[in-house]
Amino acid sequence: MKGQEQILEARHRGMKPSTMVFVDVGQHTGWQSFLLEQNARMLNDTEPMNPHVCLAPNESARTADWSWCVGLRVQIDGTDPVRVMAAFERIKAAGAERVVATCDDAPWLLMDTEFKEAA
């Protein structure tokens, strides 16, 4: 996993991102490289950007360390519904404030921890 380093550094200083943290669990390493390059702009006060964290295609969403996301709002996107759902469950269990997940290859898949089913 890459991209959480700046988030951890900020958390050690008592700060956290005020916007959604985007987590990509896709299989396209070129896209992930582009997203991670955008993190340098996250520290720019005049044009703040949402931080990106990327789980490499060879990493498991089930065994990754998601402890950095406690209390954060996280949006997950990917191309594999199994990986997206695994990341959603693990990030939710880690204590994220809100988790939203979508999947490019499964447009029917939309999960949100703020959605409550009617009784």
Any idea what DSSP says for residue 2? Answer: B
Any idea what DSSP says for residue 43? Answer: G
Residue type for position 105: D
Condensed to tens digits (0 to 9), the pLDDT of residues 80-90 reads 999 999 999 99
**Residues near 29 by beta carbon (within 8 Å), at least 6 away in sequence:** 56, 57
Any idea what DSSP says for residue 13? Answer: T
* Average pLDDT rounded to a whole number, residues 68-96: 95
Provide the edge-to-edge strand list for the sheet that holds 110-112.
52-54, 21-24, 73-78, 98-103, 110-112
What residues does each domain of the chain span?
A: 22-112
Condensed to tens digits (0 to 9), the pLDDT of residues 97-110 reads 999 999 987 877 88
pLDDT of residue 119: 44
